[in-house]
Amino acid sequence: MKPLSQMVKSDLSKIKMVVFDVDGVLVPRGTKIKQIGNTTTLNTKVIASKQIEQIKELNKKGLLINISSGRGLYMLQEMFREILPFVSLTYENGSATWYQGKIHQHINSFQSFHKIYPLLKKVSEKNPDVKGFEPKEFIITIHCKARIKVIEDIVSKDPKLTTVWNGEAYDILIKGKQTKALGIRNIAKIFKLKKENIMTIGDNYNDQEMLNESGMPISADKTRVDGNFYIPLEGKFLPADNLMQKILKLKK
């Protein structure tokens, strides 16, 4: 892995699309969630206007922009409202993509989660370490103060499912299938792109499959994911900010 500072113009010659993870890349890490009884409060992070302007600039340079997140569509639409005319939103870990008002569904997880959901709900109800279930359509996301063994145990009883713990929440997913890579493969089809045309940037364990599916993976946290280049974690700019500054400079 090379530091981003070593990226040169020829590294961008085949790139037609840039795919951004959201948390820890375009906004600081951490979603605030609070659940009291049946009331869930989510604190939506906003994308800084600087990043919105940078994305607009990338688009003007002829690059397609995809946002790939574990978050739900409603949140991403809210966060990217201003640039929705030209970005595609791949949500819930590659489960579906919204583009210009049309939803492309990449997986059907209904049968996989139908039985397990009430079991997880039940063990979470009185557990003080559970902060809340994030509203999702295709995956299950449970925010917790710390890892919770009983949740992991319930999921491990179904060999087709897996838990991904990211330090603040569990994503419960269909093993090997419901990953951001599924999103990338479908995005490539929708936009008629090859692997080599896609640059991806992500910072967390759930990004590795997506990074592996692209010709130019960028790691925003080299302690968690591998890429061709990495962006140093320290410094005053967000990883996406650093990357966009670099691309815009090289494309001048």
Contacts to Mg ion by CB under 5 A: 21, 23-24, 203-204
Q: Which helix (H) or strand (E) is 141 found in, with range?
A: strand 140-144
Residue closer to Mg ion (CB basis): 24 or 183: 24
Residue type (1 letter), 126? K
Smallest separation, CB 56 to Mg ion (Å): 22
Distance CA 217, CA 195 (A): 11
Smallest separation, CB 22 to Mg ion (Å): 6
Instruction: Give the burial class of 20: count Cβ atoms within 10 A of its Cβ; 0-12 exposed, 13-18 middle, 19 or more buried.
Output: buried
Q: State the Rg of the chain over Cα.
A: 18
Cα 11 to Cα 4, 62, 175, 243: the distances in Å are 11, 16, 33, 13
Residue closer to Mg ion (CB basis): 222 or 251: 222
Residue closer to Mg ion (CB basis): 11 or 203: 203
Do residues 50 and 43 make contact, with C-beta atoms less than 8 angstroms apart? no
Residue closer to Mg ion (CB basis): 124 or 180: 180
CA–CA–CA angle 164, 166, 167 (5° rounding): 135
Q: Is 99 left (phi over 0), alpha (psi -120 to 50) or beta?
A: beta
Smallest separation, CB 198 to Mg ion (Å): 17
Smallest separation, CB 9 to Mg ion (Å): 27
Smallest separation, CB 199 to Mg ion (Å): 16
Residue closer to Mg ion (CB basis): 11 or 207: 207
Do residues 88 and 66 make contact, with C-beta atoms less than 8 angstroms apart? yes
Instruction: Give the burial class of 28: count Cβ atoms within 10 A of its Cβ; 0-12 exposed, 13-18 middle, 19 or more buried.
Output: exposed
Smallest separation, CB 206 to Mg ion (Å): 7
Residue closer to Mg ion (CB basis): 23 or 241: 23
